[in-house]
Amino acid sequence: MNVILMHYTPLEVCSHAIRTCWQSFNKSDNGGEKDRELIERVGNKYKHSSTLEHLVYTFYIKGISRAVLQELARHRVASLSVKSTRYTLKELKSEEPFSIENLKRVEKYVVLTKNESVNSAIINSLNGLQNLLKSGISNDIAKYALPEAYKTELTWTINARSLQNFLSLRTSKSALWEIRELAYLIYENLPDKHKYLFKDFVNKKNG
């Protein structure tokens, strides 16, 4: 799994939006401590969190399972552009059959668990999908046999308000292990100057 922060909104855009309400632009310090405190106070402390929607982050996320992709889709105030199975499943056609004896090659395409029985079932599904593709069945039909563990990647854009909700839910110890790992990586990849807005929404890793 890999997360890359591609783009983010400067803090002064959010502080400018807040100051628009009171026309207090003359008190701005261009994204400095005054503006940072203002965003924290209005957006987090006073819960006028719609102001945080002016802060937007775009991440490139690689190597997550389609099971996690499904969970990401539940966070609806976000935009997802996902690797297409219609155009990319051909990547399996040139491979030899997969086996439990060579997990490194298997992990190029799927996310494995710590359960050997589940991993064995994943590999069987992967081989079944490969056989369908090699038999000439189109990607659009064969993809119905995709295992949930099949790896994908996406460009994901989300605003700060929705990201706070995501981090709160997905760093919980009750969250699926894989999306919990993803949530911590997303937080770690935020700009250092922005992390103060999210730190209270992130559960401890050993929690």
**Residue 143: C-alpha distances to residues 25, 73, 119, 137, 151 (Å):** 54, 19, 19, 10, 13
Residues in the chain: 207
pLDDT in tens, 11-62: 999 999 999 999 999 999 998 999 999 999 999 999 999 999 999 999 999 9
* Rounded CA separation 60/118 (Å): 28
Three-state helix/strand/coil letters over the chain: CEEEEEEECCHHHHHHHHHHHHCCHHHCCCCCHHHHHHHHHHHHHCCCHHHHHHCEEEEEEEEEEHHHHHHHCCCCCEEEEECCHHHHHHHHCCCCCCCCCCHHHHCCCECCCCCHHHHHHHHHHHHHHHHHHHCCCCHHHHHHHCCCCEEEEEEEEEEHHHHHHHHHHHCCCCCCHHHHHHHHHHHHCCCHHHHHHCHHHCCCCCC
The residue written with tokens 């100057």 in the block is 193
Active site residues: 170
User: Which residues sit opposite 152 in a β-bridge?
Assistant: 64
pLDDT in tens, 4-22: 999 999 999 999 999 999 9
Structure confidence at residue 205 as a pLDDT band (50, 70, 90):
confident
Structure confidence at residue 197 as a pLDDT band (50, 70, 90):
very high
Please check the confidence at residue 207 and state whether its pLDDT lies above 70: no
